[in-house]
């Protein structure tokens, strides 16, 4: 039993002790006097870390729901933690008594971290002096900021795409085929593995147009939150910079998008949690405090994989990239201990810290963390991109773990358009998508087991022009991601053993949905949609199947007459080889 007064949240009850200590009253008096300093005083953002969790209310760690921890998160934690340690002190909120002391001094909080028992706030010099006198404050450290000098979405000339997959019922990957074929994702999709059952968290600068863009609007988003504006809309808000949310939407499309003939994401069957944690401005300033808060939130909601394409370097020197110094790096390690696989970008800082000595080690935090997957970028010919950051870490570990295509990746842009973009930002969600495919096929694997599969099945890459012949190495890591081998599909071209109607994706859906049918022969089949009365409302296909996995799309939920059907429960029915198969699907408006 731990004693602490809870922070705000659903169903958080309090049992306070009677009376207020003299020390508390004195602290409030001092802080209130100093809070009257000029609002024009120069402010700087700081982490305020507390010495303890406080002793105001008895807590029982046996009630995870009161702490906002979902059953899904507990299940995922159970893969790496003993049953008696699924919930620990790091799950306890910051003591609200301490927060009230700060508020009394005029301190406006920006974010809260349970894992670090800390809050962040913009402080004047006078407030800094006052806070150092509080007995509950353990330390005051600046919030680190990363300035991204150049945008990554540069629309380079398009590479020549690979030929479209044959067959009328196969997925048409459009111009995204190259980036997926290079990491063998197409073979995994052909085996019917699309990321279903896996929750992927995305931390970025927002996800503009994700509810309306054709490639994103059918993604199953189970939660989203804007940590900048403190609301549940992760698209660009009024008054925000014109590029806000474009970067995140592009990364989301690479992993979760689906528009047949245009762009297909690596794990389009997965579910997603979206966190807007970065602020676009002329200087492109990204603060680590919102990143940490967002990562903690996603962990409590049950994310299996978290993909982050932003990082932090400007406040750090190379010696700090030792896997234990940067705040975001320490947060990544905690997430790993709780069963989350973090997949993060190496950065776009170039191959060398010093081009004359050819000293490498240009990564950004948290790519230096252990027990994660950091991702570098190659072009479609599998040559290292000149901007891709390199290892080793300051303590000598090889980085990156793997590489994927990060040059001329095809991504969404605007309300309905597409563009080609560069950056480890886009190699990262491709790799996170493969991690989701592994977990979709093998849901009981731990994060370290998924990581090991990615590393040990990667295709080794060498480049003597870089003065490197060893494997693994600090340019390509263990090599190019290979989804077929990592998932464990021995022969992606072998036919299924029997007819099978798979669950549609997304489900529920509010636009279009895709239905998969495994066919061992080219026998005649019929795929139709029925209502609860048993009436057929739409015949999607009647004809011979292709051997392998067949894909059918119910576009805009139209009936055979071309009219939209009512929202509700429907059944997809497959008739094949004298048998009938069905799956329940839910259409919402």
Q: Which of 472, 473, 389, 465 is nearest to 427 (CA)?
A: 389
Mean pLDDT of 72-100: 94
pLDDT for position 529:
97
Is residue 481 domain-resident?
yes
pLDDT for position 53:
87
Q: Is the pLDDT of residue 472 over 60?
A: yes
User: φ, ψ for residue 202 (rounded to 5)?
Assistant: -125, 120
Q: What percent of the chain has pLDDT over 90?
A: 70
pLDDT for position 503:
82
Q: Which of 420, 438, 421 is nearest to 343 (CA)?
A: 438
DSSP state of 331: H
pLDDT for position 473:
94
Taking the CA atoms of 60, 64, 65 and 69 in sequence, report the sign of the dihedral they define: positive
Q: Which of 335, 265, 280 is nearest to 303 (CA)?
A: 335
pLDDT for position 510:
78
pTM (predicted TM-score): 0.81
Residues β-bridged to residue 46:
121, 142
What is the span of the domain harbouring residue 48? 2-72+85-143
pLDDT tier for residue 36 given thresholds of 50, 70 and 90: very low
| Cα angle 200, 176, 539; round to 5 | 80
CA pair distance 267, 254, nearest whole angstrom: 9
Residues β-bridged to residue 579:
576
Element (H, E) at 308: strand 305-308
Last residue of a domain, one of 439, 464, 487: 487
Same-domain status, 535 and 442: no
Is residue 417 domain-resident?
yes
**Rounded (10°) angle between helices 96-104 and 22-34:** 40
Same-domain status, 475 and 534: no
pLDDT tens string 290-341: 999 999 999 999 999 999 987 666 668 899 999 999 999 999 999 999 999 9
Q: Quote the number of domains for the chain.
A: 3
Same-domain status, 446 and 560: no
Q: What percent of the chain has pLDDT over 70?
A: 84
Pairing assessment for the beta strands 548-554 and 373-378 based on DSSP bridges:
unpaired
pLDDT for position 62:
77
pLDDT tier for residue 148 given thresholds of 50, 70 and 90: low
Q: Is the pLDDT of residue 283 over 90?
A: no
> For the ranges 18-27, 313-322, 442-451, which has the lowest average pLDDT?
18-27
Same-domain status, 229 and 356: yes
Q: Which class for 113: exposed (0-12), middle (13-18), buried (19 or more C-beta within 10 A)? A: buried
Same-domain status, 226 and 96: no
Mean pLDDT of 20-24: 42
pLDDT for position 131:
94
pLDDT for position 493:
60
pLDDT for position 146:
64
Q: Which class for 470: exposed (0-12), middle (13-18), buried (19 or more C-beta within 10 A)? A: exposed
Is residue 157 domain-resident?
no
Same-domain status, 290 and 410: yes
Is residue 326 domain-resident?
yes
pLDDT for position 494:
67
All residues at 6 or more sequence positions from 188 whose CB lies less than 8 Å from its CB, including other chains: 434, 437, 483, 484, 487, 489, 492
Same-domain status, 506 and 561: yes
Q: Which is more confidently placed, 452 or 31?
A: 452
pLDDT tier for residue 162 given thresholds of 50, 70 and 90: very low
> For the ranges 2-16, 23-37, 384-398, which has the lowest average pLDDT?
2-16
pLDDT for position 396:
97
Q: Which of 357, 358, 353, 451 is nearest to 400 (CA)?
A: 451
Q: Which is more confidently placed, 410 or 589?
A: 410
Same-domain status, 114 and 202: no
Same-domain status, 288 and 410: yes
Mean pLDDT of 576-586: 93
Same-domain status, 530 and 460: no
Last residue of a domain, one of 487, 509, 526: 487
Is residue 477 domain-resident?
yes
Same-domain status, 131 and 212: no
Q: Is the pLDDT of residue 152 over 60?
A: no
pLDDT for position 158:
44
Mean pLDDT of 24-38: 44
Look up the CATH number of the domain holding residue 564.
Answer: 2.60.40.1930
Q: Is the pLDDT of residue 482 over 60?
A: yes
CA pair distance 18, 156, nearest whole angstrom: 66
> DSSP of 234-250, one letter per residue?
-SPPTTS-TTTTHHHHH
Measured in whole angstroms, the distance separating CA 209 from the mean position of its chain's CA atoms is: 17
> For the ranges 246-250, 456-460, 494-498, 533-537, which has the lowest average pLDDT?
494-498
pLDDT for position 369:
97
Other CB atoms closer than 10 Å to residue 589's CB: what's the count?
Answer: 10
* Tokens matching residue 341: 């696989």
For 164-197, letters b (16+ CB in 10 Å) and e give eeeeebbbbbbbbbbbbbbbbbbbbbbbbbbbbe
CA pair distance 204, 244, nearest whole angstrom: 10
pLDDT for position 105:
84
Q: Is the pLDDT of residue 155 over 90?
A: no
pLDDT tier for residue 212 given thresholds of 50, 70 and 90: very high
Is residue 149 domain-resident?
no
Is residue 168 domain-resident?
no
Pairing assessment for the beta strands 524-530 and 568-576 based on DSSP bridges:
antiparallel
Do 461 and 477 touch, CB atoms closer than 8 A?
no
> For the ranges 278-287, 332-341, 523-532, which has the lowest average pLDDT?
278-287
CA-based R_g, the chain, Å: 25
Q: Which of 341, 412, 349, 404 is nearest to 370 (CA)?
A: 341
pLDDT for position 147:
55
Q: Is the pLDDT of residue 211 over 80?
A: yes
Q: Is the pLDDT of residue 190 over 50?
A: yes
| Cα angle 422, 411, 310; round to 5 | 55
Is residue 150 domain-resident?
no
- CA dist 63 → 13, 104, 222, 453, 551 (Å): 12, 31, 23, 35, 44
Same-domain status, 424 and 568: no
All residues at 6 or more sequence positions from 78 whose CB lies less than 8 Å from its CB, including other chains: 86, 339
CA pair distance 347, 398, nearest whole angstrom: 15
pLDDT tens string 103-123: 988 899 999 999 999 999 999
Mean pLDDT of 413-428: 95
The mean predicted confidence, pLDDT, of the chain is 86
Do 178 and 378 touch, CB atoms closer than 8 A?
no
Q: Is the pLDDT of residue 12 over 70?
A: no
Last residue of a domain, one of 432, 466, 487: 487
């Amino acid at each position: 039993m731990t004693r602490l007064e809870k922070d705000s949240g659903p169903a958080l009850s309090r049992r306070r002790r009677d009376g207020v200590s003299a020390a508390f009253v004195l602290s409030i008096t001092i802080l209130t006097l100093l809070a009257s300093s000029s609002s024009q005083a120069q402010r700087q953002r700081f982490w305020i870390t507390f010495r303890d969790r406080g002793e105001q209310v008895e807590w029982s760690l046996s009630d995870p729901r009161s702490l906002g921890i979902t059953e899904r998160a507990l299940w995922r934690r159970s893969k790496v933690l003993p049953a008696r340690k699924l919930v620990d002190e790091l799950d306890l909120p910051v003591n609200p008594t301490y927060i009230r002391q700060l508020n009394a001094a005029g301190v406006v909080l920006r974010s809260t971290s349970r894992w670090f028992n800390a809050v962040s706030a913009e402080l004047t010099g006078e407030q800094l002096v006052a806070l150092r006198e509080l007995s509950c404050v353990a330390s005051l450290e600046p919030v680190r900021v990363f300035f991204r000098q150049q945008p990554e979405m540069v629309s380079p000339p398009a590479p020549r795409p690979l030929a479209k997959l044959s067959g009328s019922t196969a997925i048409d990957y459009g111009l995204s085929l190259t980036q997926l074929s290079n990491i063998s994702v197409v073979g995994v999709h052909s085996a019917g593995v699309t990321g279903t059952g896996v929750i992927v968290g995305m931390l970025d600068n927002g996800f503009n147009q994700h509810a309306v863009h054709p490639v994103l609007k059918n993604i199953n988003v189970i939660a989203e939150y804007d940590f900048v504006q403190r609301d549940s809309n992760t698209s660009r808000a009024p008054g925000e910079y014109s590029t806000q949310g474009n970067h995140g939407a592009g990364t989301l499309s690479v992993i979760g998008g689906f528009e047949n003939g245009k762009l297909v994401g690596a794990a389009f069957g997965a579910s997603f949690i979206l966190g807007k944690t970065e602020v676009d401005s002329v200087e492109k300033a990204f603060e680590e405090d919102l990143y940490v808060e967002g990562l903690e939130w996603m962990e409590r909601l049950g994310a299996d994989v978290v993909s982050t394409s932003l990082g932090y370097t400007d406040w750090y020197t190379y010696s700090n990239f030792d896997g234990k110094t940067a705040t975001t790096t320490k947060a990544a390690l905690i997430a790993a201990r709780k069963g989350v696989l973090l997949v993060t970008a190496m950065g776009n800082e170039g191959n060398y810290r010093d081009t004359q000595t050819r000293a490498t080690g240009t990564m950004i935090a948290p790519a230096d963390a252990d027990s994660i997957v950091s991702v570098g970028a190659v072009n479609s010919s599998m040559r290292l991109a000149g901007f891709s950051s390199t290892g080793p870490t300051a303590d000598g570990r090889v980085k990156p773990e793997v590489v994927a295509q990060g040059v001329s990746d095809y991504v969404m842009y605007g309300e309905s358009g597409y563009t080609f973009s560069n950056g480890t930002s886009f190699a990262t969600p491709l790799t996170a998508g493969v991690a989701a495919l592994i977990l979709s096929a093998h849901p009981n694997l731990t994060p370290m087991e998924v990581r090991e599969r990615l590393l040990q099945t990667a295709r080794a890459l060498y480049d003597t022009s870089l003065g490197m012949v060893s494997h693994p190495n600090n340019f390509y890591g263990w090599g190019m991601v290979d989804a077929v081998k990592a998932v464990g599909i021995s022969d992606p071209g072998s036919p299924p053993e029997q007819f099978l109607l798979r669950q549609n994706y997304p489900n529920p859906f509010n636009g279009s949905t895709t239905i998969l049918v495994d066919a061992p022969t080219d026998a005649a089949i019929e795929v139709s949609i029925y209502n609860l009365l048993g009436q057929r409302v739409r015949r999607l296909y009647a004809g011979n199947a292709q051997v392998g996995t067949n894909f059918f799309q119910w576009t805009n939920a139209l009936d055979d007459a071309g009219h939209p059907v009512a929202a509700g429960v429907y059944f997809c029915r497959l008739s094949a080889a004298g048998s009938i198969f069905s799956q329940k699907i839910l259409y919402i408006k």
